[in-house]
Amino acid sequence: MTTPALPRRDFLKTSAALATAAAGTALTPRFLTAAERTRSIGANDRIRIAQIGVGSRGKGAHLEKGIIPHLAATNFEVVAIADPWKQARSNTNALIKATWGREAKEFESYQDLLAMDGIDAVMIASPDFHHTTHLEAVAKARKHIYVEKPLATEMDKLVRAYDAAKAAQAAGSIIQVGTQLRSLPGIVGARQLVKDGVIGKITRIDETRNSERPYWYSYLNRAVKKEDVNWKEFLGDRKARPFNATQYSAWYGYYEFCQGPVPQWGAHFLDLMHYVTGCGLPESCMCMGGVTYWKDENNFTAPDNVIATWNYPEGFMVTSSNNFGNFSGNSRKFYGDKGTLAVDNWNAPTYSADGGPKRDGKIRGKMNVELIPSPDHFLNWLQCMRDGKTPNANIDAGYQHAVAVLMAVISYDTGKKTFYDAAKRQIRTA
């Protein structure tokens, strides 16, 4: 239900209260009271957005290609940015000034950003190992949130961030997780196809993704200067060490910062699969892999070959296989007892009766999945902040993919089969 807009006098009082609360919680976040809820955003109010992390994802995907294309249809402004790297902040502020005619306030630390007055919503595109820290802090400040996947790299942090996000959601915060595939018309159509039973009972789901080289090589920038980076802010709770330009720029390639393609690529696939099938949390998982091919002076530790298999209570198995070293194409298939759904192309999935032992003759040849119109993922978030509706990828969807990802990560780390204990919200090994 949409909260009615406040009269201007009350709104100003509420905004002041929020600012005071945010300042007090920046370093030690706390849950706000009901009186300190996220301000109601009216149909014509300008939404004031802050961005944490303005690297290639934050600047490019979130701003330039994400929300800015929807500026004519909505009313918002980016008023603050936070990033440890001076150059990233400068590049992003050039884009912001070109769009709105003035620069956003710059911060090295997310904590300082959250202490700023006049922020309605925060977008999080920080490195993977920061997501839960930033999500928890922003949620406790009661802002609307757009947060990147994978949602977590550690289970205990996931539980804390999830609980904070659920409380914020109950208080009025709109939270969208950046698994945008479920907002594509083809994926919405695939979900309806499966729901209607066209391919029958699903027995197995497989993904294979191949690439010539790991994506983290494209981020290497040894020209990053120590004096331009708040190295301590970047490391967060990771072990202190001398500044390393390779680790900073290509953090995707280091396991302590990013756990490889299963969390990175697999999070999208798992969320898509969860959305299309409507399934619950996985029961068990096995994962194996390693750095098998790309061994050089960079000493990358994220696996370049990895495969994970999950068992779901609905009675099907799910496998995600990732290989760097040969680009022979990508494939995603849902196998049912009446046919097969192929999502090799996100935007144009197809289905056929191939392999279905109970095929009933209703599928003729290879058929295109009907596209069902759906708002762009970023537009959906912007719209939900105004109408109070639930966004396409809410915090529960984020928790689901994060649990599945972490089951694979822990299996990879231990070499053991993992199980999810729903009652304790813990992952245990065999």
> The domain spanning residue 312 has which CATH number?
3.30.360.10
Higher pLDDT, 286 or 6: 286
Half-sphere exposure at residue 140, Cβ-oriented, CA atoms within 13 angstroms? 22
126 and 241 belong to one structural domain: no
Question: pLDDT band at 34, cuts 50/70/90?
Answer: very low
Q: Please choose, from the candidates 319, 304, 308, the residue with its C-alpha nearest in 3D space to the C-alpha of residue 255.
A: 304
What's the confidence (pLDDT) of residue 328?
83
Higher pLDDT, 45 or 6: 45
Mean pLDDT for the chain overall = 91
Residue 150 preceded by cis peptide, ω within 30: yes
Instruction: Establish if 1 belongs to a structural domain.
Output: no
Which residues, including other chains, have CB under 8 Å from residue 179's CB and lie 6 or more apart?
149, 267, 268, 271, 272, 393, 397, 398, 401
171 and 242 belong to one structural domain: no
294 and 352 belong to one structural domain: yes
Instruction: Establish if 206 belongs to a structural domain.
Output: yes
Q: Are 296 and 240 in contact (CB under 8 A)?
A: no
* Radius of gyration of the chain from its Cα atoms, rounded to whole angstroms: 22
161 and 195 belong to one structural domain: no
Q: Is the pLDDT of residue 191 over 60?
A: yes
Rounded CA-CA distance 279/204 in Å is: 13
Q: Please choose, from the candidates 58, 51, 33, 35, the residue with its C-alpha nearest in 3D space to the C-alpha of residue 114.
A: 51
Read off the pLDDT of each residue in 216-240 and give the average, rounded to a whole number.
Answer: 97
196 and 73 belong to one structural domain: no
Q: What residues make up the domain containing 232?
A: 182-375+395-429
What's the confidence (pLDDT) of residue 40?
66
Query: Which among 145, 180, 215 is the end of a domain?
Result: 180
Instruction: Establish if 383 belongs to a structural domain.
Output: no
Rounded CA-CA distance 326/210 in Å is: 6
Instruction: Establish if 39 belongs to a structural domain.
Output: yes
Q: Is the pLDDT of residue 390 over 70?
A: yes
35 and 140 belong to one structural domain: yes
Question: pLDDT band at 38, cuts 50/70/90?
Answer: low
Which residues, including other chains, have CB under 8 Å from residue 266's CB and lie 6 or more apart?
207, 308, 320, 322, 405, 408
Rounded CA-CA distance 165/140 in Å is: 8
163 and 261 belong to one structural domain: no
155 and 94 belong to one structural domain: yes
Tokens of 403: 């649990």
Tokens of 262: 């299963």
**Pairing mode, strands 317-324 and 305-311:** antiparallel
Q: Are 40 and 105 in contact (CB under 8 A)?
A: no
Q: Is the pLDDT of residue 26 over 90?
A: no
171 and 190 belong to one structural domain: no
Instruction: Establish if 380 belongs to a structural domain.
Output: no
Tokens of 89: 């902040």
What's the confidence (pLDDT) of residue 41?
77
Which residues, including other chains, have CB under 8 Å from residue 213's CB and lie 6 or more apart?
294, 324, 325
Rounded CA-CA distance 198/190 in Å is: 10
Q: Is the pLDDT of residue 24 over 80?
A: no
Beta bridge partners of 340: 335, 352
Rounded CA-CA distance 310/336 in Å is: 17
User: Total structural domains in the chain?
Assistant: 2
Which CATH number covers residue 171? 3.40.50.720
Read off the pLDDT of each residue in 134-139 and give the average, rounded to a whole number.
Answer: 98
pLDDT-above-90 percentage for the chain: 88
Read off the pLDDT of each residue in 337-344 and give the average, rounded to a whole number.
Answer: 98
150 and 290 belong to one structural domain: no
223 and 257 belong to one structural domain: yes
**Pairing mode, strands 47-52 and 121-124:** parallel
Query: Which among 180, 209, 238 is the end of a domain?
Result: 180
Rounded CA-CA distance 421/153 in Å is: 18
Q: Is the pLDDT of residue 300 over 80?
A: yes
